[in-house]
Amino acid sequence: MKCDIVLAGVGGQGILSIATAIGLAAVSNNLYIKQAETHGMSQRGGAVQSYVRLSDKPIFSDLIPSGEAQLVLSVEPMEALRYLNYLSPDGFVITNTTPFINIPDYPDVDALLKLITSLPRVVAIDAENVAKTAGNVKSSNMVMLGAASPFIDIQVQSLEKAIMDIFAKKGDKIVAVNLSAFHAGRAFTEQKITVKNKKQ
């Protein structure tokens, strides 16, 4: 088993909660893990990324080589594009479609979304909307983790357990909301992939 994931977003969007959940699940499955993060200046609204590497064999590099990532998992649509050079030829882009516009020259949103949906292997999801339906708009990152989860070769129970551990301090209600957000994201991808397979 080997899975390299580039997590992308904007400083302050909290991509590290996704990385932490994957990390905890990987450790409980006795997998090797390396997870490189962005700290410092970029956290002030700049582009941030995290490289998550999972394997059943020891991992050397903390950085993912170009063209080897199975997933680019982005919580912001334009940021998904920034890391396409890491994506392997059969890799998937999983991205939120809600733009985070904090720069004056942000591209035209319609053109951006059109480009994203035209990528060969992509799951584009309105994570805020799905999170709202699941109970709380703030759990959109767990929607994104859920949407990526069918591509990550870790038992779904391990990811659920990780989410419970991360949010345990905040009480049962928050745990439940985040779990339901996770499952809503997962269901979205599963349905999309099934439909696609049927079409083929």
Strand partners, 8: 49, 74
Q: In the set 14, 17, 29, 37, which binds other proteins (CB under 8 A)?
A: 37
Binding mask 50-89 for other proteins (x = CB under 8 A): -x-----x-xxxxxxxxxx---------xx-xxxxxxxxx
Distance of alpha carbon 12 from alpha carbon 45, whole angstroms: 6
Q: Which of 108, 100, 177, 168 is nearest to 146 (CA)?
A: 177
The residue (of 108 and 195) whose beta carbon lies closer to other proteins is: 108
Residue 167 contacts other proteins per CB under 8 A: no
Residue 117 contacts other proteins per CB under 8 A: no
For the CB of residue 69, give the shortest distance to other proteins in the complex, in Å.
8
Contacts for 132 with CB less than 8 Å, ≥ 6 apart: none
Contact predicate 18/162, CB 8 Å = no
Residue 10 contacts other proteins per CB under 8 A: yes
Positive/negative CA dihedral, 124, 19, 7, 139 = positive
Amino acid, single-letter form, for residue 58: P
For the CB of residue 191, give the shortest distance to other proteins in the complex, in Å.
27
Query: What stretches of 40-121 adopt beta strand conformation (E)?
Result: 47-55, 69-74, 87-96
For the CB of residue 41, give the shortest distance to other proteins in the complex, in Å.
4
For the CB of residue 124, give the shortest distance to other proteins in the complex, in Å.
15
For the CB of residue 84, give the shortest distance to other proteins in the complex, in Å.
4
**Site residues, other proteins (CB under 8 A):** 10-12, 23-24, 27, 32-47, 51, 57, 59-68, 78-79, 81-89, 102-107, 111-112, 115
